Amino acid sequence: MVSYKEIGLVHTREMFAKAVAGGYAIPAFNFNNMEQLQAIIQAAAETKSPVILQVSKGARNYANQTLLRYMAEGAVEYAKELGWEHPQIVLHLDHGDSFETCKSCVDMGFSSVMIDASALPYEENIALTKKVVDYAHQFDVTVEAELGVLAGVEDEVSAAESHYTKPEEVIDFASRTGCDSLAISIGTSHGAYKFTPEQCTRDPKTGRLVPPPLAFDVLHEIEKKLPGFPIVLHGSSSVPQEYVDEINALGGKLPDAVGIPEEQLREASKSAVCKINIDSDSRLAMTAAIRRVFHDKPGEFDPRKYLGPARDEMKKLYKHKIVNVLGSDGKAE
């Protein structure tokens, strides 16, 4: 049993309270490898932004949970080396799917876990979430839960259709589970294909797909029911079209990839939404940068020569999100 406090990580409670009161959101970036982690920490350190490092089931299968946890410990020291005196870094389990997985993360030093029982019937979601909360709170680890179902298909997260969170359920759910934050469904979804072309309109000038707006009415209803309660948005990549175009121009095939417009994420950040999950945008930044090197320098075979530019591109993306979209810069001086 290792406490996250011993390794310099923090949980989300105070961070979220400040974000809700201050009208900004904390970035939650997924990481699977060293370059992503370096880019996240460099971006957070340079902007003095609190940051949540997220580990998904896919990441644990790919890189190993123990290794990722020790990388996060290293990240705290790395942040200090970069001149960030008091780093505010959370190590969070993304989409935990069982009590055992959540427990193993709590026991090995994660400071926050998500139990995603949103696909279960309501009462079963409550029972499993409460079991995780009761365990995690003994160690001061914070717990994110989910109510409502997101559409979209990602390696480990799939739902054929979305069901918006029902505002009439949130008070009962939050009070009976004791969760610290709640992920809701208001029209976001995972991956780079958040909407089908049929769900979108087309901008007559650019020919680009324009996605349907998020259900801000549902968000506001939820805020009214649970004033000040921390709300989380998953599936919040904006799928920058510059990356999609570049990837496609350099031999990739991402037809009609579309995300959540940043303007809407900016608006959500000013509300009780205090954690915004971004993974796909980082994958796109990395892929575009690597394709660029392979196209421009076909003789290159040193991985550092393409993973280095990929790291720089991801860092640029993370800083942009922090400063121009979520507004969390300078909140962890």
The residues carrying an active-site annotation are 94
Residue 20 or 53 having the CB closest to ligand 13P: 53
In this structure, what token pair is assigned to residue 284? 């796109």
CB 259 within 8 A of CB 280: yes
Closest CB to ligand 13P among residues 7, 257: 257
| SS3 call for 224 | helix
- Sequence-distant (≥ 6) Cβ neighbours of residue 287 within 8 angstroms: 243, 247, 252
Q: Which does 129 bind (CB under 5 to 8 A by kind): Zn ion, ligand G3H, ligand 13P, none?
A: none
Residues present in the chain in total: 333
Phi (first) and psi of residue 166, to 5 degrees: -90, 115
Indicate whether 58 belongs to the interface with ligand G3H (CB under 6 A).
yes
Contact call for residue 234 and Zn ion (CB under 5 A): yes
Q: Cα(159)–Cα(264) distance, rounded to whole angstroms?
A: 23
Out of 118, 277, 287, 328, point to the residue binding ligand 13P (CB under 6 A). 277
Tokens of 58: 């896919």
In angstroms, the CA 254 to CA 248 distance is 6
Q: How far apart are CA 275 and CA 90, in angstroms?
A: 12
Neighbours of 271 (CB within 10 A): 17
Q: Interface with Zn ion includes 275 (CB under 5 A)?
A: no
230 scored as a contact of ligand 13P (CB under 6 A): no
Tell me which of 12, 30, 129, 287 binds ligand 13P, using CB under 6 A: 30
Smallest distance from the beta carbon of 15 to ligand 13P, in angstroms?
17
- Select from 9, 52, 59, 265 the one that contacts ligand G3H (CB under 6 A): 59
Cβ contacts of 137 within 8 Å, gap of 6 or more: 143, 178
Sequence-separated (6 or more) residues with CB below 8 Å from residue 276: 25, 26, 27, 28, 232, 233, 236, 265, 268, 269, 325, 326
Q: Of 27, 148, 187, 235, which one interacts with ligand 13P (CB under 6 A)?
A: 235
Q: Residue 275 CB, nearest distance to ligand 13P (Å)?
A: 10
Residue, CB closest to Zn ion? 234
Residues in 163-222 that interact with ligand 13P by CB under 6 A: 190-191
Question: Which residues is 90 bridged to in the sheet?
Answer: 52
Residue from the set 118, 177, 280, 328 that interacts with ligand 13P by CB under 6 A: 280
**DSSP structure class, residue 5:** G
Piece of the chain touching ligand 13P by CB under 6 A; list 68-76, 77-85, 243-251, 271-279: 271-279
The residue within the footprint of ligand 13P, chosen from 73, 94, 146, 313 (CB under 6 A), is 94
Binding site for Zn ion (CB under 5 A): 234
Binding site for ligand 13P (CB under 6 A): 30, 94-95, 190-191, 234-237, 277-280
Binding site for ligand G3H (CB under 6 A): 30, 56-59, 94-95, 154-157, 190, 279
